[in-house]
Amino acid sequence: MKLKALLLTSLLFTAALPAFASVQIMGTRVIFNAKDKEQAIRVNNVGNAPSLVQVWLDSRPESGVADKEDLPFVITPPMARVNVGKGKTFRIFQTQDTVNKYPKDRESVLWVNFLDIPPEDASLQDKNLLNLAFRTRLKFFYRPAGLKGDEIQAGENLKWSMVSNAEGYTYTCDNNSPFHVSFSRLVIKGDEKTLINGDMVAPFSKKTFSFKTKNKTAKPVLEYTFITDLGAYVDKQF
């Protein structure tokens, strides 16, 4: 099973020298089934200094700081110190409002955020050194009871159509399932310049992908890879 590298977004900085996150998240996504009371996420400190880790949920694909949202989940602890070589388990609990918050015929997506805040070194306060806080975001899928099929069947049963145009090709993906389908990559075979890294199509919806290319052929082949609950990559073609 291959795991995709997590996206690290720098949030806080004081200068312009490189720094690297020391927190390792054990997993690539969180699946929260309606019947579950909680889900646990393990964080390990693989760096050489303690880190303060803040964890929160939000509903926006793109967001900045930890804005307060009225979401029916509780994370405990919301912030914790993780020492070098040690780990910490963060637990996410659902409240009684969850069942009425989200649709019952499809899963809903949120994002769980991990902010890795390194300690300040008092001996280096007068130095022009970069001190970054890194944020990692994982998809968080809330899955109501009684959905038919699973995320693998959803990825296998996508319906595609293609239209050729002056700039290349436009593909339409039709996901007629109650599950989100996450892609790690989409590309026109033989033309790596058309590569699209990472995307997602929502349940019971369509999404278009445009590929600009000068190497048009009569029968182009779309190669794509979708990701399972366990983080496995499944390669497909259309």
Give the pLDDT confidence of 57-72 residue by residue, as tens digits. Answer: 999 887 666 667 889 9
Q: Assign 111 to helix, strand or coil.
A: strand
8 A C-beta contact, residue 161 and residue 49: no
- Model confidence at 16, in pLDDT bands (50, 70, 90)? very low
Which is nearest to 23 in space by CA: 55, 52, 46, 48? 46
Q: Is the confidence at residue 1, as pLDDT, over 50?
A: no
Using the predicted structure, report yes or no on whether residue 51 has a pLDDT greater than 60: yes
Residue 228 token pair: 């399972």
Please list, residue by residue across 54-86, b when 16 or more beta carbons sit within 10 angstroms of its beta carbon and e when fewer do: bbbbbeeeeeeebeeeebbbebeeeeeebeeee
Q: Is the pLDDT of residue 155 over 70?
A: yes
Handedness of CA 53, 55, 61, 65 (dihedral sign): negative
The pTM score is 0.84
Mean pLDDT taken over the chain: 87
Residue 181: pLDDT band with limits 50, 70, 90: very high
Residue 44 has pLDDT above 60, yes or no: yes
* pLDDT score at 67: 66
pLDDT digits (tens, 9 = 90+) for 186-235: 999 999 999 999 999 999 999 999 999 998 998 999 999 999 999 999 99
What's the token pair of residue 20?
């690297």
Q: What is the DSSP letter of 131?
A: -
Q: Which of 90-99, 116-125, 192-201 has the lowest mean pLDDT?
A: 116-125
Element (H, E) at 156: helix 151-156
pLDDT value of residue 129 = 57
Q: Is the pLDDT of residue 13 over 80?
A: no
**Which residue ranges form the domains of the chain, and what is each CATH number?**
8-143 (2.60.40.10), 151-237 (2.60.40.10)
β-strand 38-45 against 87-94: which pairing, if any? antiparallel
Report residue 135's pLDDT band, with 50, 70 and 90 as the boundaries. confident
